[in-house]
Every structure is written in C-alpha cells, then in structure tokens.
A = this chain, B = another copy of it.
Amino acid sequence: MKRDRVTLTDVAAIARVDRAVVSRVINKDPTLNIRPETRERVLAAIEQLGYRPNVAARSLRTSRAHMFGLFIPDFANPVYAEIIKGAEAEAADQGSVLVTGSATRAGLGEYMDRLGQGRIDGLLLAGAPDEAGLAGQLDRAGIPWIMLNHRGRTVRRYVILDDERAAALAVEHLVRLGHRRVAHLAGPSGADTATRRSAGYSAAMRAAGLPEGPIVAAGYTPAGGAAGMARLLAAGERPTAVFVANVASAIGAMQAVRSAGLEIPRHVSIVAVHDLDLAGYLSPALTTVRMPLAELGRRGVTLLSVLKPDETVAEVLDGPIELIPRSSTAPPPDRS
C-alpha cells in the first residue's frame, strides 16, 4: 500500500524548475511572479506524479488548518446528527472540513494533544466536562472555541437554541387542548438544556395560571424516560398530559404509559422537544417541537471564524421553532 512518497524535488525535476518555484505555485505565493507557462508545467507535473503537498509542513507556514472540530457527549443521542450536518455544511462553505469526536473527560485531553496548535482552527464543545479547565487549556494553546447547545457554568462563550420557547410552545399546545394537569418529565439534573426546558415549562404554566408539577428528572434515553414516566404516573393524581424534555426519553415514556395500562392520547397526552424522522412513525405518532439543530451547528462554525480573542458570547440562536402536532396529543379525558 505504501510506496516511496513523491516529493517536491520529484515535481521540480519533472517540471524543470527550482524547488522554490514548485513551493510557490502550491502555496499561491504572490511575492514571486511566475510565468503562466511555468505554472502550467508545475501543475502538470503535480498531476502526473500524483503529488500531494505535505499538509503538516504547510500548516507551519500558513495560519489556517482549514479544519474545525466538534465534540459531542454521545453519538447515540440522535439530535447530534442534525447538528453535525449543519456544522459540516458551514465548514465546507468556508473551504474547510469538520471532524467530530466524543467529549469524554479523558478523551478531550488526548484530542488536545493531537489537534493542537496549527492543526485545528477552532473547537465546538457540545457538552464538555470540566469546561473551565478546558477553556483555559484552549486559550493557552491559542485555539478558538465556543460552547454549543449548553452554557457552561463558569465561562460566557456559547451559542444555544431557545429551549425555553420550545418548552413553552409544547405547554401552550397542551393548554390549548384543555389540559390543566400538565406534568413535566425533565432531563437529567445538571444538563443545561434540561434546566432551560424546565424553566420554559414553569413560565408557561404560570402564564396559563396553572399549578406546576409533578416534575421528575430522567436521562435523555429510552430507559431513562421509561423509569421517569413510571415514577410520574405513581406520583399522586395522574396528569392528563406530560411535557417530555427529550424525544429519546419520550419513546421510553410512551412505553411506560402503555405498561401502566393507559392509552396515548386517550388517557395521557405526550409532547416532546426535538423532532426526528422516526417521531412520525411511532405508535401513536409523536407530537414534537422542531428546533433548528442544523442551523445551530452552522452558527457555531461561523462564530469560530469571526470571534475576537477574549470576546464573550451569549447567543440564543434566532431560528424557527415549530410545534409539529401528531397523534400523541388530544383533549383530556374529561373533555373528549
């Protein structure tokens, strides 16, 4: 598979020019005039030999690596596919690429060592453990970074979606259908998206003049949602509707409702944040709130390119948020 590498010297020999001329053609160096026919000869030699410039060497000379990084907490959480797609598209529009990896506590330090100075133009951190330590490390390394989809606790450099408004749209939909006992299956305590969706739920309930709760925290997984919903249904007077903070946990929550011998939406209506392809194929089809995940990925890459050193950013992306009504929500039992 490996063979002797074609070098700059080989190209120079074939093109009958000095090595410096080849280098300047490759790097589009404007400081030396190169005659068009010489340039053509060099490009033909590069093509003929299949020469590829050594990018590691080039990155020492040029200030940009044309590569961005995105670190996410869990590839199994389906919302990240959309975020990645948007970030990749924006990177491509900038003539760059995006690489993605898992943001584990141990892993990020390793990535830092491999993707350090001169190898990456910036990092998007979607759920990074220990953000304060990491931020300092990145600043010292001169690598631009921004938190994506969560605010962090100690630093102000993030772009997020309007999770409060998404939660409010879900609750308002239930209230419009006539529900008054609207429970909340929240996300895991400590997750910033969970905090903001819960705040949106509380604000919307207050605005409607309705009492809050019960509220139960659960992981953003089917298993977490199933366990959380089982606890909700056992907590006193049964709610007629539940706002679920995450679509993956909603799949588990729906199963817990069925296991309790109840029907959706006849006994309990369910609405969840984030729309996914599969939401419309569940039984019943799940009412969701669609959020601009791809735009969030795009915006993160854009910000990496324009941020000034030491600039703080606290941006709530201004994109379309939309309720997608399906079959999992209906008027409450006493009104239907």
Contact = CB atoms under 8 A, between A and B. Distances in A.
Interface of A: 1-3, 5-6, 50, 52-57, 59-60, 65-67, 69, 74-76, 78, 80-82, 84-85, 88, 92, 95-102, 106-107, 110-119, 137-142, 144-145, 221-223, 225-226, 248, 251-252, 254-255, 258, 277-278, 280-283, 285, 307-311
Contacts of A107: 88, 92, 97
Contacts of A59: 56
Given A222-B280, A252-B281, A281-B222, A140 B52 contact: yes
A114 B140 contact: no
30 contacts: A1-B139, A2-B309, A3-B140, A5-B117, A50-B137, A50-B140, A52-B113, A54-B116, A54-B117, A55-B115, A55-B117, A55-B119, A56-B117, A57-B118, A75-B75, A85-B102, A88-B107, A92-B107, A95-B110, A96-B110, A96-B114, A97-B101, A99-B99, A100-B100, A221-B277, A222-B281, A226-B281, A248-B278, A254-B281, A283-B283
Contacts of A144: 1-2
B67 A60 contact: no
A145 B1 CA distance: 9
Q: Which 8 A-B pairs have the closest CB atoms?
A: A99-B99, A56-B118, A75-B81, A50-B140, A76-B81, A1-B309, A2-B309, A255-B281
Contacts of A140: 3, 6, 50, 52
A114 B255 contact: no
Given A55-B114, A226-B281, A142 B5 contact: yes
Contact of A117 (B52, B74, B137, B278): B52
Most buried by B among A66, A75, A139, A307: A75
Contacts of A5: 117, 142
B52 A141 contact: yes
A3 B277 contact: no
Contacts of A222: 277-278, 280-281
A168 to B, nearest CB: 27
A234 to B, nearest CB: 19
A76 B78 contact: yes
B55 A57 contact: no
Nearest to A110: B97
Contacts of A96: 110, 114
A277 B142 contact: no
Nearest to A221: B277
B139 A3 contact: yes
Given A1-B307, A97-B110, 6 more contacts: A3-B139, A54-B116, A66-B113, A88-B107, A222-B277, A255-B282
B102 A88 contact: yes
A222 to B, nearest CB: 4
